[in-house]
């Protein structure tokens, strides 16, 4: 145990000295999904994105005080941790007690990790109740201010995860989130379910001149990124 602890400590100290570059970015993803039985699609998608390139931690936040919920926390962990480990061996499961779910989510996102090895990506589900939208959007703003990459997942229970044939990337340019979207699409295609999927990069323009320019720029970008994808420019 002492040797392993020393190795981990040494690796973390080396990681502190590594300069950031988009090419060596890998997701250390936390999923804020609540009860895993209600949102298994978040587990599946998070696992598809990260696989063996990073770490996925699924957080089950429970509202209340520690004195009230400590036993509930233990029971939830004992119930779900073995099930998640069996189906998703690379996913860590945690139960945290918070005063407020959305404020707790922000707290978890900024405190989870050690040194440079911190959570850099957060996945959340789409809100279903209108009265929660304001607090939800405040949470997203705070997470963005903390420089976390955000995956906001709107799941269609009827279509589910599709048939694995296409991944559509709606392109607004590199200045926003284009780089992350392309990288995410590329990471997903490494998963066996999406191995034969075709990435399609779509963008919208206002004129024929812009269409030609956008087509040229997208093809150049994909060539430089070494990502195989089709392009579609919509007038």
- For the segment 151-169, what is each residue's pLDDT rounded down to a tens digit? 999 888 888 877 778 889 8
Going by pLDDT thresholds of 50, 70 and 90, the confidence category of residue 136 is very high
Tell me how crowded residue 111 is: count the other CB atoms within 10 A of its CB: 10
Using 50, 70 and 90 to split pLDDT, how confident is the model at 176? low
Strand, coil or helix: what is 182?
Answer: helix
For the stretch 31-81, pLDDT in tens is 998 888 888 889 888 888 887 677 889 999 999 999 999 999 999 999 999
Q: How confident is the model at residue 12 (pLDDT cuts 50, 70, 90)?
A: very low
| Mean of all residue pLDDT scores within the chain | 82
Which residues touch 158 (CB under 8 Å, ≥6 apart)?
A: none
197: how many CB neighbours lie within 10 A of its CB? 17
DSSP 19-83: PP-GGG---EEEEE-SSTTT-HHHHHHHHHHHTTSSEEEEEEEEES-HHHHHHHHHHHHHHHHHH
């Amino acid at each position: 145990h002492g040797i392993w602890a020393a190795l981990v400590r040494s690796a973390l100290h080396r990681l502190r000295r590594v300069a950031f570059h988009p090419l060596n970015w890998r997701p250390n993803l936390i999923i804020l999904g609540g009860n895993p039985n209600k949102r298994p699609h978040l587990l599946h998608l998070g696992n598809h994105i990260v696989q063996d390139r990073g770490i996925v931690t699924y957080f089950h936040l429970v509202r209340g005080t520690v004195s009230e919920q400590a036993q509930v926390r233990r029971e939830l962990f004992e119930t779900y941790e073995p099930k998640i480990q069996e189906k998703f061996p690379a996913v860590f499961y945690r139960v945290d007690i918070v005063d407020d779910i959305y404020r707790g989510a922000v707290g978890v996102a900024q405190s989870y990790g050690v040194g440079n090895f911190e959570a850099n990506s957060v996945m959340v589900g789409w809100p279903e109740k209108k009265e929660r939208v304001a607090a939800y959007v405040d949470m997203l703003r705070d997470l963005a201010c903390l420089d976390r990459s955000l995956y906001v997942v709107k799941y269609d229970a009827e279509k589910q995860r599709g048939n694995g044939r296409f991944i559509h990337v709606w392109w607004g340019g590199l200045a926003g989130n284009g780089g992350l979207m392309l990288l995410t699409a590329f990471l997903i295609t490494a998963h066996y379910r999406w191995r034969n999927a075709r990435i399609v990069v779509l963008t919208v323009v206002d004129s024929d001149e812009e269409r030609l320019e956008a087509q040229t720029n997208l093809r150049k970008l994909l060539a430089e990124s070494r990502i195989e994808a089709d392009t579609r420019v919509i007038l």
